[in-house]
Amino acid sequence: MSVQPIHLAVIVGSVRQGRFAPVVAHWFAEQARQHGEFTVDVIDLADTPLPLALPPVPPAVDPNMERPAEMADLTRRLRAADAFVVLTPDYNRSFPASLKAAIDWHYTEWQAKPVGFVGYSGATGGVLAIEQLRQVFGELQAHTVRNYVSFPRYYLLFDGEGALKEPEEPAAAAKTMLDELSWWAGALAGARRERPYPAAG
């Protein structure tokens, strides 16, 4: 077990009207808190304006680039995280534009940190979105963990109060992923302290 709690940012990727994301996010955040090794910061992208038009010089080239003032809190919270869990639906076989914008407006905030995933959708449980996100985060030099949590046909799995009807299997999947995130977060945090991560390029 880690000596210091691991600061986990849970990123809620959907911002669409009528989204189911807050139900899944509430469930997962409770799993992470009960795990015992994490402090949990739920970052809901619906709370932050995310311009789709990126600046002329991308953050990969200029990590100190000036971002819109309303994005400052998001950037600070991403920078403070030791690990991430990205919660995503599957929209047209991919992940939401809001999530891509949040990712693309940042760069060093993701580097050498572990990322896990919670997906939900009608048929695939968000797996198609998750597999694409693995490629994106790999390009950003983050480490995506193998295990994930998936809710296919999520609308049948939760009751009207937002509780899972059969919680045992999803809870076990969440614990497995959180155990893996904990290991990688500890290893990578120690590595970042001992040796600065090499600059891109």
For residue 65, the model assigns a pLDDT of: 86
pLDDT score for 58: 87
Tens-digit pLDDT profile for residues 15-45: 999 999 999 999 999 999 999 999 999 999 9
SS (H, E, C) 73-109: HHHHHHHHCCEEEEEEECECCECCHHHHHHHHCCCCC
Kindly give the parts of the chain with pLDDT less than 70: 1-3, 199-201
Residues 6+ apart with CB under 8 A from 37: 1, 2, 5, 6, 178, 182
State how far the Cα of 61 lies from the Cα of 126, in Å rounded to an integer.
31
pLDDT for res 66: 87
Sorted by where each starts, the structural domains of the chain and their CATH numbers stand as 6-194 (3.40.50.360)
